Amino acid sequence: MSFTSIPAALPSPLTPFSLDDWPHDAPCVWVKRDDLIHPYISGNKWRKLAYTNIEKAHHVMSIGGGYSNHLHALGYKCATSGVPFTALIRGNYADSLTPMLIDLQSWGCQIHFLSKAQYAQRESSTFASWRESVFGPHTYIPEGGSTRLAVLGVLDMMKEISMLTKLHARNLPTHFVAPVASGATLAGMIKGSNQSQYVLGIAVLKGQNYLEDQVQRFIDTGDTNWRITHDFVHKGYAKSSPELLAFCNKVNSTTDISVEPVYSGKAFYALDQLIKQKHFKQSDNIVIVHTGGLQGARVNSNQK
């Protein structure tokens, strides 16, 4: 089953967004609702996998955490395509499977847990050799699905934003905002923007310089109209704070948008704080990309 045969809500809509406690001179904010594309292959996961042809693969493998939206989307795509899939999981959840891992099991995917030491070697030739010796020949997709093909999928999203803006006679965006974890989404946004527009990435994990290097290796240019802020990590990946959780609950209960504290919630929280800090002008026109995936909100009672 190819992506062309999987029903999807494309182009995803561009909808206005605001919160009641924003200042009167807040900028105009729009949300690119990529979270509405597909119930399982949601958001930037659709974009990243759109040009990845796995249908002819004999065995697909990828790596991520116990709440990985990427693994969830890829596992679903492989299951519906009849392609065996192995998920390499950072940490051992054997005694307390997350809802994401339970889904993978129900779809017939293989799960293999990695120690911290193994995970730390994930980009080494030693790790590649280990994968081959243990699992045999396979098609390997990097963590987060971040590849050069993934960047092409994000460029499609940027074209949609341009098309929708012109269709509804709206002002061109001055800023784009999105969460950053593995780099390809932000890289595609940078490549799809012009130098008069600014692209702001919200780091969702501790990785200053590492995240910037990840993005730079995908854009291969001297673009300077972007940066990543590391001010809203909230103690690290998949870690939260009372303020972040309260904000996510507020958005979920007062708007028609759902966010979670791992990815989308951190991006929306950062934008909220920057608006309140008067980081933007009233004349600015901001598009925040809802990158979809709500695995971080699916927590079993024994995992709280």
> Which residues have a catalytic role annotated?
68
Tokens of 114: 């990695």
Q: Of 69, 74, 72, 62, whose CA–CA distance to 112 is shortest?
A: 62
Whether omega before 13 lies within 30 degrees of 0, making that bond cis, reads no
Contact 87, 64 (CB under 8 A): yes
Under 8 Å between Cβ of 166 and 126: no
CB 32 within 8 A of CB 199: no
| Residue where the block lists tokens 């800090």 | 277
State the Cα–Cα distance between residues 169 and 299, nearest whole angstrom. 42
For 231, the 3-state DSSP assignment is: coil
Q: Which amino acid makes up residue 229?
A: T
Q: Which residues contact 126 (CB under 8 A, 6 or more apart)?
A: none
Quote the distance between the C-alpha of residue 68 and its chain's center: 9
Q: What's the CA gap between 286 and 198, in Å, rounded?
A: 9
